[in-house]
Amino acid sequence: MSNSVRSLAVLLSEDRENSDPELFYRGQELSRQVSELPLELRDELASRLQDAWPQKGFASLITLREARSFSINVAAVAWLTYGPALDLAITADQWAAIAVSGVSLDESAGWLRRQWTPQALSRTLELATSSDARVWEQIVSSTPGRLPDALVEALTARFRTFTDEQTYEIHRIGERLAAEQRTDALRALSDADPRLEARLRGFLGHLGDGVALESLFQELKGNLATTSVDRDSVQWLEGAKDVRYLPELFECLFLARRKETDPFGPSGVIEYVIAEIGGEEVVARYDEAISSRPFDGAQFLRIPRDRVAQRELKSAGSAAALELAEVVGVPLLPSEVQ
């Protein structure tokens, strides 16, 4: 008898009793062969998956443990690998059961997004009684389009449990809510737990939340005075593009410039935000800094200062040209006033 490893097509051509254990055990490996199957074997694989759906529900195949660990039955692995490879059509009950399991493989989130229906949402809201970060991240990542309001309400009311190791899950949830401008949802989660507030503060700041920005600026100034700061950690400054934050922005810029040795440090982000605010006050603050020299090399602030000044002059010139053209009745082409 040959000891060669059997292909997916061969396993599906054999009787289930002899082939199902290997078929399920090697799911992650064999799922790559699904695209090569003829239609009748794809149907056979789908049939075997449906027959393997446990009577006690998908949750009976998975046990979430502390931190990020879990145990998973091979039948669940088969569903999460073969299902996406087949783009298997599933019921609302099945969708909800998988989504609230808290376990996702790389392929499964996209599959669930394609299979989502309003009925699946209704069943998910009934089943999603857990407060675990893994469960809610899985639901959020599996839901396509803008998150339905009912789902966001359930998320903010029920999501409470997480560990220090679950930074990824919290970041994914916060990132999705921020992308959808869900300031109220982020604030509700932050108000529910100080530890969540610390994790979500950057997303709120990015959306321009004043309370979050106040805390973030204080934290940034403390960090700039004592440690190195990565520019990726200050992307929340996008939410501070307002003239009222200029004092804080320039204070942070000076602190960063005093210590910065990394060309990819935070000062570039700060200068960008200041430039986006623009206006006479920005130019005046740059002039004051160039004159008072709050750090070595302050004279080089003339470069960002001049960029802002040139833009202001160009804007003022365009406005004046339009006004003059209206007075004398001469039309201007758009390119002439840019």
Q: What range defines the domain where residue 234 resides?
A: 225-338
Which of 227, 297, 293, 295 is CA-nearest to residue 266? 227
Q: What 3-state DSSP class applies to 70?
A: strand
Q: Give yes or no for a contact between 220 and 190, defined as CB atoms under 8 angstroms apart.
A: no
**pLDDT for position 252:** 95
- Element (H or E) spanning 224, and its range? helix 210-226
Write out the chain's pLDDT in tens, 338 residues. 345 689 999 999 999 999 999 999 999 999 999 999 999 999 999 999 999 999 888 988 988 877 667 888 999 999 999 999 999 999 999 999 999 998 877 778 899 999 999 999 999 999 999 999 999 999 999 999 999 999 999 999 999 888 888 888 999 999 999 999 999 999 999 999 999 999 999 999 999 999 999 999 999 999 998 888 888 999 999 999 999 999 999 999 999 998 876 667 899 999 999 999 999 999 999 999 999 999 988 999 999 999 999 988 887 655 555 555 565 655 655 554 44
**pLDDT for position 108:** 84
In a domain, 299, yes or no: yes
In a domain, 248, yes or no: yes
**pLDDT for position 153:** 97
pTM for this model (two decimals): 0.84
In a domain, 37, yes or no: no
Q: Give yes or no for a contact between 110 and 99, defined as CB atoms under 8 angstroms apart.
A: no
Q: Give yes or no for a contact between 158 and 188, defined as CB atoms under 8 angstroms apart.
A: no
Q: Give yes or no for a contact between 51 and 70, defined as CB atoms under 8 angstroms apart.
A: no
Distance separating alpha carbons of residues 277 and 77, to the nearest angstrom: 51
In a domain, 238, yes or no: yes
- Longest CA–CA separation in the chain, Å: 98
In a domain, 5, yes or no: no
Alpha carbon distances (Å) from 195 to 23, 123, 200, 226? 44, 30, 9, 23
Alpha carbon distances (Å) from 114 to 63, 84, 232, 267? 26, 10, 32, 42
Distance separating alpha carbons of residues 186 and 200, to the nearest angstrom: 7
Which of 281, 230, 227, 223 is CA-nearest to residue 252? 223
Tokens standing for residue 254: 């000076």
Residues 6+ apart with CB under 8 A from 243: 277, 279, 281
Distance separating alpha carbons of residues 170 and 284, to the nearest angstrom: 41
In a domain, 114, yes or no: no
In a domain, 273, yes or no: yes
Which of 274, 335, 337 is CA-nearest to residue 309? 274
Helix axes 118-127, 149-158, angle to 10 degrees: 10
Distance separating alpha carbons of residues 235 and 169, to the nearest angstrom: 19
Residue 55 backbone dihedrals phi, psi, to 5 degrees: -65, -30
Q: Give yes or no for a contact between 115 and 95, defined as CB atoms under 8 angstroms apart.
A: yes
**pLDDT for position 333:** 56
**pLDDT for position 337:** 44
Distance separating alpha carbons of residues 268 and 282, to the nearest angstrom: 16
Number of domains observed in the structure of the chain: 1
In a domain, 333, yes or no: yes
Please list the residues that pair with 161 across neighbouring strands.
132
